Structure 1
Amino acid sequence: MMRVLVFMLSTLAAGGTDRVSTTCSTEACLTLHLEEEVHFEDASKNCINNGGNLVTLRDLDEFESVKAALLSAAAEDSAVFSLKLWIGLSLQKQRCTDFTEDLNGFRWTSEPKTVSGYSNWKKKPLSTCTEKRCVSVSLSDDLKWVDGSCREGAFYMCRFLSKGMCRPIVLEEKSDVKYILPFLLNPLTPHERLEMLPHGTSAEIQCGGSEDTLVSFCVNKHGLFSWTNSERFCARDRRKCARNNGGCEHLCEDTETGSVRCDCREGYQLLDDDVSCALKNHCENSPCDTKCVPTPSGFSCACAEGFHLAADNISCVDINECHQRICGEHTCHNTPGSYICECRPGFRHVSGRCEDVDECTESRCKQGCLNSQGSFSCYCHAGYSSPSGNRNVCVDVNECLIFKPCEDICINTLGSFRCSCGEDFILAKNGISCVQNTKIPTFPSETSILEPSLKPDRFGTTTGSAPVLNNTNTKTDSSKRKESLLGSSWFLVCVWGSAIPLLLLIVLTTVFVIFRWTRSRKTSKSSATGDNYCWVSSGLDQEQRNGNSTH
C-alpha cells in the first residue's frame, strides 16, 4: 500500500468552479469533481461516459487511496474537508434493506457488486423496500458511509482503471509538453504535473524555438508501457549528464560523441525512450500458482478472485463465501472461487442473489392478492367470505339472510343486495326504508328497487348507494324516475281531459231534469184547487156515524 501512495500525486486546477483534482497510482486514476453538486444518477453517468465508474470503498486499500487523494485536494482547498461525495453504493427501489448483510442490502454500482466482509457505516441505513437510497462520504466523518435520497446534491469522485502507466517525458532542452488524459476533456495546464500518466494519454511536444509539434502516446510495448516516437524527442544529442542528469531517470554517462547514455539501477531495465526505467520482469518462470506481481526486489504471488494465498505464499486456497452469510437467510453452497445461493420457496435466483417472486402476477388467488417477501396471501372482496379460512375460495355473503338490511323486500346479489318496496310504496333516499307514494297513483307491477354499490356499511358487509326509482324491477337512475313521473302526469291529464266533458254533460242533464220536474209539480197543484174554493165539512157525516153506532 505504501508503494502505491508513494507514486500518487494530486493536482488541483486553479480558478473558478471548474475544479477537477486528478490522482494516479500505478494501477488507476481518481478524479475529484468539484464543479457543482449533482444527483447520484448524474454523477454515475458522468463517470461512465468518460470511461470510468463512481469510486468504491470495497476494502481498506481502496479506502486509503481515496482518503489520500482527498487529503491532497484538501491541502489546496480546505473546503474539500467538509464536502459530501457520492460513492458507487446504492439500494435499488425494488430491494429491501437487509441488516443481516455487511452491505445491508446495498450493492456496488460496478463489478464486483456483492463483495462483503468490509463495511464502514456511520449508522444503520433507513429500512425501506420502496425508495432508492444512495451512499455518500465526507472527510469530516473519516469517510463513514451515510445513506440518503439519491435526489440530493453532492460532489463525486470517479475511478479509472488503467492497463499500465507511463512516467512523464524527460527532455534536456526547455520545451512545452501538453498532456491529454483519456478521461479528461481539457489537457493538463503547464503547472499541473502527475508523477504517473495512464495508458492512452497523448503528449503534444513543441521544442523550444520550433513551430513543429510532435505527438506521442503512452502505449503497451510487450508488457512495458512507454512513449511512442521517443527517438525524435527534442535535441538529445546535446545533452550533458552534468545538466539535469542528462534527462536520464536513473544513471547517466557522457559519451565521446558529446551526448549521453542512460542506464538503470539493478533490477530495472531501460525503456524504448532511452531515458525511463521499469522493473524487470521477475515473473518469468516464477513458481506462483496463479498470478505473479513484479516488485522492486523480485516478485510476489497473488490469487484470482474467490481465492487467497496459502501459508507458503505461492499456492492459492479457495475462500468459503458461505461463512460470510453472503446468501442471507437462504442456503449457500460453496464452489471453487465462487458460491451458489439456493433460494427458499417464494424466491428465485437472479444475477447471483435471491429475489422475491411476486405470486400475485401469476393469478394465484380467485379475487384479491397481497404479495409479501417469499410468500403471498389471498383475500375476498367486500360482499364475499372464505369458508373455513380457505382464502383461495370466496363465496357470496347473503346479506338479506344475515343482516336483514331492507325494511320491506331484500334481494341478494353477488357481492351485494338490493332493496325494493311493495305496492303503493317507494324507496326512501337511504335506499333501505319505504315511504308511501303520495305524489302519483300506484299502478300494478310498479316497484322501486335499490341497486347498491359494493362497499362496507354498518351491517358489516355491503350496502347500496342512494336509492333510485325503477318501474321494471331492474337498476335505474334518477333520470328514469323523472321520466316515470312525467309519464304518469301525462296519463292524468288524459284521464281528466276525458272526464271533465262527461261530468259537464251529467251536470247539465241533472239541472234540466230538476227544472222540468219542478215545473210539472206546480202545474198539478193548480188544477186540484176547485177553482180556488175551499171545502168545509158539514158535520153530517159525523152524526150519521154516531147514529149508526147507537143502533
Structure 2
Amino acid sequence: MAVAWLLLALMVLGSSGEHAEVVCAGNACYTLHRAELGWHGAQERCRHNGGNLAPVRSPDEAERLQELLAAAGWPGPAWIGLSLARGHCVLPQEPLRGFSWVAGGEPGTYSAWLAEPAVTCLSSRCVSLRPDEPSGTVGWADRPCRAPLAAFLCKFSFRGMCGPLPLTGPGPVSYTTPFGVRSPRLAVAPFGTLVEADCEGGAGPAFAVCKGPLEGGGFAWHPPGPLCPIACSHRNGGCQQRCVETPGEPARCACHPGYALAEDMASCLPEDSCHPNPCQSTCLSRPGGFECSCETGYRLASDGRRCLDVDECLDEPCQHECHNTAGSFVCLCRPGYRPTGPGGRHCHDEDECARPGICPQLCLNVPGSFHCTCLPGYQRQPSHGDACLDVDECLRDPCPGHCRNLPGSFECLCPAGFLPEEDGHGCRAAPTDGDKPTGATNSTPRTTRIPRTTTGILQTTVIPRTTGAPWSTSILQTLGIPIGVTPPPAPTAVGSAPGAEHSSDGPRLLLYYILGSLVAILLLLAFALALVACRRRAAKQEKRPAKNAADNYCWVPEQAENRGAGGERR
C-alpha cells in the first residue's frame, strides 16, 4: 500500500516537473535552468528544490558543467554558486580572490578566472560561468549580483544512485527526479527518481522507482524490471540479438557469445573488458581488450593501469614559485608581490607605500619591498622604531654668529652690521657708505658703540654715523695693544628656511676675526719683549762702578814750571 501511495505521489510530481537539461554522475546531479533572474533569485530557486547554485571546485566538476552547457546548446553565461558579500574585500593573492561558495566548505585551490575580478570592498559581486571564445573552455567572470542573467546552474547531492533502467520493449521513457526536473534520458538516476515507460502494444505505461538499497552503497529500481514485457513473437521482444522466454517469467533479451547487454537491456555490445574496471582511473573498451586513461594532472604508469601524479612545476609555469599538488599545482608569489593573470601564474609588485602610516615620513617603493626615508633635516633612528629625529645642524657650527636649531632646519642669528642671506643660513656684511643708494637724504647722526681693547682694559669709541648711510662694524680700533675682540652686543634673528646653501661672507668674517686675534697676540708678544728689554736697559744704567782711593782727588792738567829770567826752573 505504501508503495502504491509513493508511486501515486511521484506520478503527480512527474506530471508537473520542469523540463531542463540534467547530468548525473557520482552522487550528484547538475541542472541548467533558463529563467531571467538575479543571483539571489537563482539561488532561491535551487534551494527551493533542495539544492544550491552549482559550485566548480575541481577540473572534473568544470568538465561536467561544460558537458551540460554543450548538451543544452547554451552559449551564454549562467550563474554559479560563487559570490562576494558586501563588506568583504577582494583578495588578489587568493585563488578564489576572497569569494566563497554558497554551499560552504573549504574554498580549495581550483580557480578558472577568465579575468581578474573588480577590486572592491563596498559592493556585492557574483560569478557566472561562461565559455571562453578563444579556447572553447568555460571560465569565471564576476558581475553585479542584481544584474539578471538568462540561465543558472544548480547542484543536487544524494546518498546514492540507481543504474540503467532495464527495458525489454521499445517506447518513450521519462525520468522525473526528486528535484522537480524531467528528462528523457539519464545514465544514472538519484534516489527517489520515478521512471515512466510508455509500452507499445497497448500494454499501457509502466513505472519504477529508485529506492531499493544495495549492499556496499547505491540503490536499485523497484520493481526491478524489465519494463514493458512482451512476447518474443512480437518484433523479437524488442531485442537486438536474442529474445528468451522462460515459463512463468517475462520475456528477456540476451546476446550472442562475445557480446553483453547494453544499459537499455535490449541492445548488445561487445563484451566489456572494463567490467570490472581494471584501471585506476578510466577504462575504455577496445576490440580485443581495453585501454586505461588518467585524469588531467596525472600520467599513466608503465604497467598501463595505474596513474601517477605529474609534477607540473618542472615546466616552470609560474613566474616566482610553484607548489605541486595532487593532479595540479599552485603558483606562489614572493613577499611584496601579488598574483595576477590567468590562474595567478604571474606576479605583480605590490606598492606597500600605498598603505597609510607605513613610514613615519617618506616611503620609497622598490620591487618586492619598500624603504622608509626622512625629510631633509631629519635622520632615522633604528633604536626608536625607525622614527625620524631632528638633526641639530648647529653642532656643525654653520653660522658666523649664534645658531638656533629648529625642527628639520636651523636659523642663523646675525651680528649687528650684518644682514641675513635669503636662505636664512648665513650672514653677509651690510653695504658700506660707498654703496649708499642715490637719493638718500636722511643724514640724522647716529652713533654705535664698537668694542675696543687696550692692554687688558676694554674701552669703547663712539663713531658718528648718519641714518641713511650703510656702515660696517668690521673695523676695530684699539688704544694700545688689542688683547681680544668682544662679540657684538646686539645679534639680529634671522628666520630660517630649509635649504642646503650657506652664505660665503660668514666664513670670511670669521677668518677676519681669527687673523685679527693672531695679529693682536703677536703684537702683545712684541710689546712684552720690548718691555722686558727696556727694563733690563734701565737696570744697567742704574748700576754704579766700584769706588777707589782716587775718587776723592781731583786731577788738574799739568802746567809749565815758573822760570826766572834765565829761564831756569824753580
Greater fraction of residues in helix: 1
For normalisation by structure 2, the TM-score amounts to 0.43
Over alpha carbons, which structure has the higher Rg? 2
Greater relative CO, 1 or 2 (CA 8 Å, sep 6+): 2
